[in-house]
Amino acid sequence: MGLLAPSYGAGVSRSNLSGRPATTQGTSLTASATPHALSATRTEIIASTAFEANWVEVIIKNMAQTVVITDGLLNLYIGGSGSEVLWIDSLSAGWSAQHNTARGWYYWFPIRVPAGTRISGTLRALIASDTCNVEINYGWSNALAWFGSGVETLGENTSLSRGTAVTAGGASEGSWTTIGTSGYRYGYVTLGVQGNNDTSIAGGTLEYDVGTGSAVLQGMERFQVVENTTEFLSNVHDGWWCDIASGTSLQVRAQHSGTTSGNNFVTIHGVY
């Protein structure tokens, strides 16, 4: 006999994808011709959401290049052309895998999106005029008990188009590194990771823990990232449900499955 559970409820979803699958699917964004600067042009990703949503997926692909450092940060905006408002800033985008190699860098956020919302984006990058492909899926799930109204990013370094340096441990956990202080009460947290500081990625699996006061927070551990010797990273896990108070100093530590090959660069994204 099964346990009592909520009744069934249909959900709906939509995407910016159309047509036949391709290795470059998604909306192409081009960075400024000036390294680390934001382009003045917001590239439209979704013209108008078809219904009110309570979750959003953002999948970033195709920035990685062999033996090249490809740091980059993605900003997302909502609003009409010429009157866009910053919505989610500084998503770690660089080192994202080619679409036919791995899933790229994947973000999932339980966040409200009103019907009729236009979504656009800009890319800042180390490499002048670098590009990425962005896929956005959104939907309404009757199974979600909580969803937020915004996303805060901690740890971004816009002058270098990357996050905060974190050195992973090998046989033991690395040291805790402070990423930033929450400005809101978070109900969900995920990470962005780029790196490393050179083109000598050893390959293997990284696991990240989030904590405060040099202790793991609420079981927020083992966020896995696969890194490949051809200089791409791809996350295995999506994030954690949580209840983190505003004003909490958040830290990250990491451990590598093999020999560490340098710093990685981490951003924290908290839904409030």
User: Domain spanning 27-140 has what CATH number?
Assistant: 2.60.120
Calculate mean pLDDT across residues 195-220.
Answer: 88
pLDDT for 183: 98
The answer to whether 57 and 137 have CB atoms below 8 angstroms apart is yes
Q: Which of 31-40, 112-121, 255-264 has the lowest mean pLDDT?
A: 255-264
Closest CA to 154 of 64, 56, 247: 247
Token pair in block for residue 136: 């956005």
pLDDT for 23: 74
Closest CA to 85 of 111, 57, 122: 122
* The pairing of beta strand 177-181 with beta strand 105-109: unpaired
Q: Return d(Cα 260, Cα 168) in angstroms, integer.
A: 7
Q: Which string of b and e fits 106-123 if b means at least 16 CB within 10 Å?
A: bbbbbbbbeeebbbbbbb
pLDDT for 9: 61
Read off the pLDDT of residues 1-47 as tens digits, 9 standing for 90 and up.
555 555 556 577 888 887 777 777 889 999 999 999 998 889 999 99
Looking at every residue in the chain, the average pLDDT score rounds to 90
Residues in contact with 33: Cβ distance below 8 Å, sequence separation at least 6, in sequence order: 128, 129
User: Cα dihedral angle (120, 126, 159, 72), rounded to 10 degrees?
Assistant: 40
- Domain 151-271: which CATH number of 1.10.8, 2.60.120, 1.20.1110, 2.30.30: 2.60.120
Calculate mean pLDDT across residues 79-83.
Answer: 94
pTM of the shown model: 0.93
Task: Reply yes or no on whether the pLDDT at 269 is more than 90.
Answer: yes
Question: CA distances (Å), 33 to each of 3, 11, 66, 156, in order?
Answer: 58, 42, 21, 21
- Residues of the chain with pLDDT > 90, as a percent, come to 67
Read off the pLDDT of residues 124-147 as tens digits, 9 standing for 90 and up.
999 999 999 999 999 999 877 899
The answer to whether 36 and 125 have CB atoms below 8 angstroms apart is yes
Token pair in block for residue 46: 């979704």
Token pair in block for residue 72: 């980059």
- Classify burial at 225, counting beta carbons within 10 Å of its beta carbon; exposed 0-12, middle 13-18, buried 19 or more: buried
Domain with CATH 2.60.120 in the chain: 27-140, 151-271
